[in-house]
Amino acid sequence: MEYRPLGRTGVQVSPLCLGAMTFGGKTDQAEATKMVDHFLEAGGNFIDTANVYSRGVSEEMTGRALAGGKRHRVVLATKAHGKMDDHDPNAWGNHRRNLMAACDASLKRLGTDYIDLYQIHRPQSSVPIDETLRALDDLIRAGKVRYIGTSTYAAWQVMEALAVSKELGLNRFVSEQPPYHLLDRRVERELIPLCQSYGLAVLPWSPLAGGKLTGKYRRGQGAPQNSRENPANFSEGTWAVLESLEARARSKGCTPTAFSLAWLMAQPGVTSPIIGANSVAQLQENLEALSVTIDADDRKAVDQWIEPGTHTENYYRADFGPHQYR
């Protein structure tokens, strides 16, 4: 396993991050524990979850999967912002009251006394960024959090946060987690250059576009069983990418999944795509990307399917409300 620095921190993380969003949904505790063990055995050391995933169940299952002396081997990331109580108007958001309470609750569910990377799950324009940063800085100074990051922020929002951190002498964000994959490359315009310039790790979520890039969809055929996408809604541009991806992967002797992840891992500025497998079998298919080499011809081919900075599917938005997560 070739590890990569988490932005400018010096912390080393695996080039694929195990996402735990399925824990408590499609994945039960037994399978989740097997997945974590398999990931660690393969050399992975980076796991990402969030308090809002199954309303805390994902964090609880992640904590149990890391019990027995495994916690110290993992760079553990979670997030706050999402609504955790339907009857409490303050049980969500980026304000101090929520972040302090949410962090303590996440620590308890995860069964740990510190979080390696604590991320703000979505921006919230109604809360001043200094309010958020002061709360996060206090969590770091209290020893509850090691580093802080963002998710699905626009480039200007990241830049604003960096400027305010510098102005007020606060700990700054070290990572950003945007949607990024073969069907939406818009982060290449401003966000990734910004992260490269200021030393932020880039941790793409939905690197397989919600399963679109796995090869299971075929033009003219219905949706596969248990799929969450309707192929009838795919654009002509999306079909062109999917069919080109299928042919390219076949020529390299790998799956579309492995090629898509390998391409993303090889993109400038990318630190660690977050893989959202729901079983050990799916996880192993994702890990096969580690053995796929992306060369100059592959990059040129992909740029012909979908030009840099463009998209055929709309994933990259920085204005999601509190309940819209993938």
C-beta separation of 64 from 29 below 8 A: yes
Q: Quick check: is 53 catalytic?
A: yes
Place of tokens 């192993």: 284
Which distant-in-sequence residues (6+ apart) come within 8 Å of 236 by Cβ?
A: none
Of residues 155, 151, 149, 124, the one with CA closest to residue 136: 149
Burial of 257 (0-12, 13-18, 19+ CB in 10 A): buried
If you ran DSSP here, which 8-state letter would residue 72 be given?
G
C-beta separation of 170 from 137 below 8 A: yes
Domains and CATH numbers, the chain: 4-305 (3.20.20.100)
CA–CA dist 15, 29 (Å, integer): 25
Q: Answer whether 0.85 is exceeded by the pTM.
A: yes
Q: Which of 53, 118, 180, 316 is catalytic?
A: 53
Query: In this structure, what is the dihedral angle of CA atoms 21, 177, 254, 243, given to the nearest 10 degrees?
Result: 100
Within a 10 A sphere around the Cβ of 26, how many other Cβ atoms? Answer: 14
Per-position pLDDT tens, the chain of length 326: 899 999 999 999 999 999 999 999 999 999 999 999 999 999 999 999 999 999 999 999 999 999 999 999 999 999 999 999 999 999 999 999 999 999 999 999 999 999 999 999 999 999 999 999 999 999 999 999 999 999 999 999 999 999 999 999 999 999 999 999 999 999 999 999 999 999 999 999 999 999 999 999 999 888 887 777 888 889 999 999 999 999 999 999 999 999 999 999 999 999 999 999 999 999 999 999 999 999 999 999 999 999 999 999 999 876 544 434 44
CA–CA dist 309, 13 (Å, integer): 26
Task: Enumerate the H helices of 203-307 as residue ranges.
Answer: 236-252, 256-265, 280-287, 296-305
If you ran DSSP here, which 8-state letter would residue 182 be given?
T
Tokens of 119: 């991320």
